Amino acid sequence: MKPAPFEYTRPATVDEALAALARDDAKVLAGGQSLVPALNMRLLRPAVLVDVNRIAGLDRVETAGDTVVLGALVRQADPRVQSHPVLGAVLPHVGHTVTRNRGTICGSLAHADPAAELPVALVAAGGSVVAASASGRREIAADDLFAGPFTTTLATGELIVESTWPTPGEDERFAFEELSVRGGDYALCIAAARVRGEEVRVVVGGVTPVPTVLEVDPDHPGDSAAEQVDPWGSIHATPAYLRQLVRVLVHRAVGRAREGAP
Amino acid sequence: MIPVAVSVNGRHYREEVEPRLLLSDFLRHGLGLTGTHVGCEHGVCGACTVRLDGVAVRSCLLLAVQAQGCEIVTVEGLAGVGELTPLQEAFRRHHALQCGFCTPGILIAAEDLLAQVERPTRAEIVDMLSGQLCRCTGYTAIVDAIAEVARS
């Protein structure tokens, strides 16, 4: 299992990276914790890899009011982000200690694995990303970013240069639940809940093609969530089992968020 | 071919490599440092874990060219010839290895945990080991060895 040949470029600035990305057979190499396995297994054969790891300033973490802005190179293990209520709850579930040392938060968003935690977390947090290309920059809300499994609404030549994570307010609580076959694996089912007073926002992942916001009955969140999903099932879990996971994990996530609610 | 200059276990190397060469293969086949093992080549088993600029990483998920200018430590560089680190000593005392295939990666990953967390709990050690597969099922002794070093 070795990658097929490719050209390698290591830009020093975002502009150089964007120039190199302006072709549809180029891929961004950030943390590489999903991309390099796909190269090794030859699931992907890009002509050019654009390694953004040496671009100065892309590892910035900025707190602006009640949001935290993370540059494209902020790693999942970065100590600066672990105290954020949403990221701190979710990141321990993302891969393993060693893969988190290298994997980036923005890279996981761009990869858009349907069983990944960070896309669900961004939707639950009501966050967004900034996509840059040779022709300019645009902000994409989390709700508009994920188009399908491993598919985003990013256009050819666009690079996520930062992601924005609103911090839940004083009167809000966040809880995250997932079940995976082994610790650190991708999830069979993910449930995130945000509670503010009587308001409940639930997002599920793993059982849907993209992170999906569910309108739940506040008195029966698990049951009403389970009625709204139609999991496709896999070698690891039948559709009926996945639906039951939605019921249980949404119930738990909402319950835990309410317990922590002021 | 692209030039790559790295320091591995304190020794400087300058080589020309294909961009697609994995760091794990560069260490093993290019430099002859076969202590770093290769299991799954997709980041799951942890056997290839090395230290890159002070941080534990999967060498099968890095290209050799990405290590340009970096300092790498492999299992060969943890202790001097004929010496053992306190963690290696604890592994020996607790029988924390059987075939030894996973041991180099576990040593590097465990040192990383001990560097990041002052006194990791048993649960934190187990969580870290979820990324380091041992197929001799020797985890109890591995946890014991790491926990002993964490306490001292």
The per-residue pLDDT for range A75-84, each reduced to its tens digit, is 999 999 999 9
* Domain around A131: 61-166
Question: CATH code at A115?
Answer: 3.30.465.10
Assigned domain for A45 exists: yes
Residue B152 has a pLDDT of: 86
**Closest chain B C-alpha to A78 CA, distance in angstroms:** 11
| Chain A residues within an 8 Å CB radius of B53 | none
Distance of CA B91 to the CA centre of its chain: 14
Test B42 with A40 for CB contact under 8 angstroms: yes
B chain contacts of residue A49, beta-carbon cutoff 8 Å: 19, 63
Alpha-carbon dihedral A179, A181, A187, A192, rounded to 10 degrees: 10
Domain CATH number, residue B70 = 3.10.20.30
Are B6 and B67 members of one domain? yes
Using a CB-CB distance cutoff of 8 angstroms, which residues of chain A are in contact with residue B55? Answer: 101-102
Q: Are B54 and B60 in contact (CB under 8 A)?
A: no
| pTM passes above 0.90 | yes
B137 touches chain A (CB under 8 A): no
pLDDT-derived band at B137, boundaries 50, 70, 90: confident
Average pLDDT, chain A: 95
Tokens of B147: 């926990």
| Beta strand A212-214 pairing with B11-17 | unpaired
Tell me the nearest-neighbour CA distance from B56 into chain A, angstroms. Answer: 6
Measuring CA to CA, which residue among B91, B78, B104 is closest to residue B139? B91
**pLDDT tens string A18-75:** 999 999 899 999 999 999 999 999 999 999 999 999 999 999 999 988 999 999 999 9
Burial readout A191-209 (b: 16 or more C-beta within 10 A, e: otherwise):
bbbbbbeeebbbbbbbbbe
Whether B71 and B7 map to the same domain: the answer is: yes
Cβ proximity of A136 and A109 under 8 Å: no
From the CA of B5, how many Å to the nearest CA of chain A?
15
Put simply, whether B48 touches A (Cβ < 8 Å) is: no
ipTM given for this complex: 0.96
Query: Which of A166, A196, A215 is the last residue before a domain boundary?
Result: A166
Q: Is B139 on the interface with A (CB under 8 A)?
A: no
